[in-house]
Structure 1
Amino acid sequence: MSGFLNRAKEQAEHALSAGKQKVDEVQQQRAGGDLLKRLGAAYYAERTGSGSAQATQDALTALQAHVAAHGDAFLRG
């Protein structure tokens, strides 16, 4: 009986770990999408005269940092 409970506990812990990993992936993809949207908005504002080159560069830098830390999978979604 103890072996069964240990296996059930291991499976539950594995499922919980996999679930947490998936949540983290979704959150990172969402954050990457938000940064990409911010870059697009900054670029549009700059091109239409209501934004600055610095705001566009700041958005690009933030996006590049996210890609360096978490990869660019969100770009292929």
Structure 2
Amino acid sequence: MTGFLDRAKEQARQGLEQGKQKLDDVQAQRAGNELLKKLGAAYYAERSGSGTPEATASALSALESHIAAHGSGFLNS
């Protein structure tokens, strides 16, 4: 009986870890998508005359930092 409970507890722990990892992945993807949106808006504003190159560079830098920390997988979705 103890072996069964140990296996059940281990499976529950693994399920929680997988769920947390999936949640972290989804949150990183959403953050990356938001940074892409901000970069696009900054670029459009710059090209239309209402933005600055500095704002575009700042948005690009934030996106590059996110990619360095979380990878670029969100770019393919």
**TM tier, smaller:** over 0.9
**TM-score normalized by structure 2?**
0.99
Structure 2, unpaired ranges of 5+: none
CA separation in 2, counterparts of 1:7 and 1:69?
34
**TM-score normalized by structure 1?**
0.99
For each residue in 1:15-71, what CA deviation from the matched residue of structure 2 results, as whole angstroms up to 9, or x when unmatched?
A: 000000000000000000000000000000000011100000000000000001110
Moved over 4 A (4+): none
Q: Which residue of 2 aligns with 1:69?
A: 69
Structure 1, unpaired ranges of 5+: none
Identity between Structure 1 and Structure 2 (%): 65
The one-letter code of the counterpart of 2:7 is R
The one-letter code of the counterpart of 2:75 is L
